[in-house]
Amino acid sequence: MTEQFEFTTTEEQTGTVDTSVFGEETRAEARQIIARYPESRSALLPMLHLVQSVQGHVSPAGVQFCADELALSVAEVSAVATFYTMYKRKPCGQHLVSVCTNTMCAALGGDAIYRTLGEHLGVGHEGTAGEPGTEGSITLEHAECLAACDFAPVLQVNYEYYDNQTPEQALELVEALQRGEKPKPTRGPELSDFRSAERQLAGFFDDLDETVTGPSLATETVRGAELARERGWTAPSMPDDAELPPLPEKK
Ligand code: FES
């Protein structure tokens, strides 16, 4: 049975959730994350990504682990984990395919892409085709604007972009993923898998040189900046003597 993100009152009251799936290495990495922030609780978002890099979703054990490490209540962690769509409540496939169905992409074919992939995979929003975590398993979701309207319609695999897609191209891409292939994204680094992407979102880049290679800009994206340069438009700079609030004491 798929593990759902739910706590019983008994578990909450007695703290019986087993967090042993998070070994010493993960606990050491959690401490590294916490050390980055003046207040421990500020580390919650990357901690939840770390949890997903281990389990492929935020399980009750993941919530308990974050609560223990950050001295927060289970309710506080759950409130954050259920607010953001990037935290998954069911185990994800090897790859997360996010199809933008927001206005620009929808008008240019995003809805058709989402429908085509849903029919091919036999799943709806946040459904997984295949055994979660195994090679070729795919979780499908429709997404709000992915901040790439200049390349609409777009989709992402593990948050890497595939621009100017058609339903046919998207289908070919997903079929390749199901065969265990990793087609190159239009921009950015080579494709990895969902759990590796989550590790990067937690702030751990195991191969930074590899991660930062690949084009990240396109003509369409920098057109505004080029026009501004040609016309001599500039934004006011930050004053050198701007007063910044003091950092809070580490808690
Ligand atoms: S509407 Fe799809 S990227 Fe903005």
> What pLDDT does 133 receive?
84
> What pLDDT does 72 receive?
96
> What pLDDT does 1 receive?
43
All domains in the chain, ordered by first residue: 9-81 (no CATH), 95-194 (3.40.30.10)
Partners of 128 in the β-ladder:
139
> What pLDDT does 4 receive?
52
Sorted by sequence, the CB contacts under 8 Å of residue 68 that are 6+ apart come out as 19
Distance 154 CA to ligand 1 centre (A): 7
What separation in angstroms does the CA of 126 have from each of 70, 133, 175, 199?
Answer: 29, 14, 18, 20
Please count the other Cβ atoms lying within 10 Å of the Cβ belonging to residue 2.
9
Ligand 1 atom at minimum distance from 104 CA: 1
Which string of b and e fits 87-106 if b means at least 16 CB within 10 Å?
Answer: bbebbbbbbbbbbbbbebbb
User: Which residues, judged by CB distance below 6 Å to any ligand atom, belong to the binding site of ligand 1?
Assistant: 100, 102-105, 145-149, 152, 154
Read off the pLDDT of residues 74-123 as tens digits, 9 standing for 90 and up: 999 999 999 999 999 999 999 999 999 999 999 999 999 999 999 999 99
- The binding site for [2Fe-2S] cluster consists of 100, 105, 145, 149
Pairing of strands 155-157, 127-129: unpaired
User: What stretches in the chain show pLDDT beneath 50?
Assistant: 1-2, 9-11, 13
> What pLDDT does 139 receive?
98
In a 13 Å sphere around the CA of 53, the CA atoms on its Cβ side amount to: 24
